[in-house]
Amino acid sequence: MANRPLCSLDLQNEKIFYQDDSFIVLRTKNLKGHRERIMIIYRRHQHTIPYKAFERALNILTQIGREVFKYTPKFVILDTTFATINDHWHMVASDLDPESEDFDLMLATRWIKVVDNMYPDQT
């Protein structure tokens, strides 16, 4: 990343769960009181992504989330209205701990998907 001084992505100390040519899934820097809180980031400097790519990102985050959030029956994938990364499209997944710091904010955020770990994905 040294040749991209404007990029806010610094992945050196991050816990990476998945990566390919388009996306990276990693643990968020700030867990906000959750046992796990992860996000998927689009590698390119774009605020929006094509719908096909969005569908793929949702699928990846769901699959990785099912592993990462094994300890809890349900997790949610959230809209990134209150996001801290500005130059990359991204999407957050989190458990539903009511004791977490951002639980009220989570309730105020649009939930893109609720994933039920007790059941496989409905298609």
Residues within the interface to Zn ion (CB under 5 A): 7, 9, 87
Nearest distance in Å: CB 69, Zn ion: 27
Nearest distance in Å: CB 73, Zn ion: 35
* Residues in CB range of 65: below 8 A, 6 or more apart: 38, 75, 77, 93, 115
Nearest distance in Å: CB 26, Zn ion: 14
Of the pair 39, 115, the CB lying nearest Zn ion is at 39
Closest residue to bound Zn ion by CB: 7
Asked if residue 19 lies in contact with residue 25, where contact means CB atoms within 8 angstroms, the answer is yes
CA distance 29 to 48: 22
Of the pair 42, 69, the CB lying nearest Zn ion is at 42
Of the pair 87, 97, the CB lying nearest Zn ion is at 87
Of the pair 1, 114, the CB lying nearest Zn ion is at 1
* Residues in CB range of 54: below 8 A, 6 or more apart: none
> Could you give the strand order of the β-sheet that contains 111-116, starting from the edge strand earlier in sequence?
16-19, 23-27, 37-42, 90-95, 74-78, 111-116
